[in-house]
Structure 1
Amino acid sequence: MTKIKNKNYQRENRTDGNHTRALLIKHAGIMFAEHGYQAISSKDICWAASVTPASVNYHFGSKEGLYHEVLMEAERVISSSASFEQLTSPSISAKDALAGFLYNRFYDTIVHSGAWQYQLLIREAFMPSGVAEAFEENVIRPRFIIIKEVVARHLGMVPEDPKVQEALIACLTISSPWSVKPELLKKNMPAIYSCSVEDQAKRLTEFCMAGIATYIKHDAKS
């Protein structure tokens, strides 16, 4: 057994049948998020989930197949409140659609502060596993295109403009500390936690929208 398993992972009580698949996704998600795809073996995951060593191959075909399902589960959780439908609604202005999307994303990230789903997708985005090309192409890339187009419309620029892409990256990564290291925020910036989640999400949204507005004003003066 590898040393990974000795790091504060609690084994589940033995569970069989329909729960096995869910247990594997849950424990794989936690372990992949903390250590990365390459550092975790199928055997590690099966040990943590208290299932037979062949369970990963039986249910998912391979560790790579399990990783894809874990990524899909993470994306389902994160996208459930992200209001992607609002982003594409013709009845809502680009500014309002973007503000609504950002508020929902910030709110959900803070509520689920430290959740493995957020940690995993950030890890995959900035430290790619090398085995998630299909997930990136079929799930992540289309979402980025939608958001980028909304930002571009709000800025009055083309999606390929550097300002559009800088604004997008800034908006999507500003909530990363809540996702990756919430304990550091609590220790070093306790005042953040003296207000409600709603207020935090509102202020983060206003901060992003104000930054984008600065781009618009600067461009108008040029």
Structure 2
Amino acid sequence: MLKPTRKPDSQTRRSRTDGEATRSRIIDAAGQVFAERGYHDTTSKEICKRAGVNLAAVNYHFGSRDGLYLAVVGEVMSHLLELEYLQQIAASDKSAADKLGEMIDGLVHSLIEDRSWHTRVWAREILTPSPVLAAITATEAMPRIEIVLPLLSDLTGIPSDDPRRFYGLLGLMSPCLMLLIIDPDQPTPIQSIYSRPADEIADHIKRFIFSGLRSFAETS
């Protein structure tokens, strides 16, 4: 005879809530420090001070400093391009062009309208990769790339087993990476772009990307 499942009491629920709040506070504090100093120059001591916790709390929730950094990057990727959001777009009845366009819109809006620590952490990771880059690629980047690659095949006619698809991926990533890594507060040739509406920037980027993909399809 099956025993009824015991519902968690109020103390258990409160402890779980407190633990989740602490975990979120550590991630936010760590994200700020990693954004300011980068992976290599950030210490656990500084993160703990910023979060108002001790090292035991970091190890309890994340296992190690690298575990915490992976959690921070996971938060970054969800902030910029939430995986479930991409999956929902990919599963819709829209055309490949409309799906890809919607994904570009979402990313550009995240990059232009919310220059938080999330974008700076990812920019630093791209410019000065951490020792856990391989794990980041496997757990965060590849699941998103695997959603995009079939759309590139549909748009260019290049088969899924043809490595030339990655040239299309390179053309797709390049303008968005430029928006990510260039500091909008620094004087650069494209600084004025950051003051323009995100919709306008996204439209120009989509025109550039889709023009390249059409040209690629004609010559493939």
What TM-score comes out, normalization by structure 1 length? 0.76
Distance 1:71 1:161, change over 3 A: same
Structure index of larger Rg: 2
Note the 1:105-144 alignment, pairs <5 A.
Answer: 105-113=107-115, 115-125=116-126, 127-131=128-132, 133-144=134-145
Q: How many residues align?
A: 203
**CA 1:81–1:108: 2 relative to 1, 3 Å:** farther
In structure 2, how many angstroms separate the alpha carbons of the residues matched to 1:211 and 1:159? Answer: 19
Tell me: CA distance 1:90–1:76, structure 2 relative to 1, closer, same or farther (3 Å): closer
1:125 Cα deviation (Å)? Answer: 4.7
Judging changes above 3 Å, is the alpha-carbon distance between structure 1 residues 88 and 110 closer, same or farther for their aligned structure 2 residues? same
Which residue of 1 is the match for residue 166 of structure 2?
A: 165
RMSD of aligned Cα (Å):
2.9
Give the stretch that moved more between structures: 93-102 or 75-84: 75-84
Q: Which amino acid aligns with 1:39?
A: D
- Please, which runs of 5 or more residues in structure 2 have no aligned partner? 1-17
Distance 1:18 1:91, change over 3 A: closer
Cα distance between partner residues in 1 of 2:30 and 2:135: 19
Query: 1:162 & 1:81 partners in 2: Cα distance?
Result: 24
Q: TM-score, normalised by structure 2?
A: 0.76
Deviation (angstroms), 1:155: 0.5
- Residue identity matched to 1:146: I
1:158–1:79 Cα change, 3 Å? same
Structure-1 residue corresponding to 2:22: 20
SS in 2 for 1:40: coil
2:151 matched to which residue of 1?
150
Gaps (5+ residues) in structure 1?
A: 1-15
Amino acid at match of 1:121: W
Q: CA deviation at 1:43?
A: 0.8
8 Å Cα contact 2:81/2:106 also seen in 1: no
Identity %: 28
CA shift for structure 1 position 173: 3.1
Q: 74-83 or 61-70: which moved more?
A: 74-83
- Are positions 1:55 and 2:57 aligned together? yes
Please report how far the alpha carbon of residue 151 of structure 1 lies from its aligned counterpart in structure 2 after TM superposition.
Answer: 0.7
Query: How far has the Cα of 1:180 moved from its partner?
Result: 2.7
Q: Following TM superposition, by how much is the alpha carbon of 1:82 offset from its aligned partner in structure 2, in angstroms? A: 8.3
After TM superposition, list the pairs within 5 Å mapping 1:85-124 onto structure 2.
85-89=87-91, 91-113=93-115, 115-124=116-125
Q: Please give the secondary structure, in 1, of the residue aligned with 2:184.
A: helix
What is the Cα deviation at residue 191 of structure 1? 3.8
Letter in 1 for 2:180: S
Q: For 1:174-205, what per-residue CA distance to the aligned partner results, in whole angstroms no more than 9, with x for missing partners?
A: 12343233335665435424532211111111
In structure 2, the residue corresponding to 1:158 is in which secondary structure? coil
